[in-house]
Amino acid sequence: MKFYKIIASVGGIGYVSKGGGTIAAVAFCVIWLLLPASYSHSICQVVVTFFLIAVGVWSSNVVDTDWGKDSSKVVIDEVAGMAITLLFVPQQIDFVAAGVIAFRFFDIVKPLGIKHLEKWPKGWGVMADDILAGLYALVTMQLLLQLKSFF
């Protein structure tokens, strides 16, 4: 298998017939939870997130020729969206579960202009909707954290 296909499919997860995006998002969460606790509040988290976006755009561009526009095999976009969602969120299972629910809601329902971004060309079209879904889920998570600290 070619390297760009491994990246785009997140090690082959994208080849799962149903739920590949959710599996990729949850796989990222498991890895994220296993990292040192300081990771969730470090610049390293931001660097990794931008790296995931960059390799996601690149690999999605390349596989577009082989797999077609926004193939379901491409799940690096869900990983990048989850990385955005979990920016500066405590590494606790309850917050991660809420993050998965928030991100998948925005990614699947595609409200508030998310659907429109799928029309962008190639890799940017694949990634942009998940980036925006991740940003909406990030705002949701930060509001949840503020509410929790308020009560």
Other beta carbons less than 10 A from residue 114's beta carbon: 20
Whether pTM > 0.85 for this model: the answer is yes
Query: Can you tell me the distance from the alpha carbon of 129 to that of 45, in angstroms, rounded to the nearest whole number?
Result: 21
pLDDT of amino acid 129: 96
Q: Which of 54-68, 71-85, 137-151 has the lowest mean pLDDT?
A: 137-151
The tens digit of pLDDT for each residue in 15-46 reads 998 999 999 999 999 999 999 888 878 899 99
Buried b (16+ CB within 10 A) or exposed e, 44-63: ebeebbeebbebbbbbbbbb
- Domains of the chain, residue spans: 37-150
Query: For position 69, what pLDDT does the model report?
Result: 86
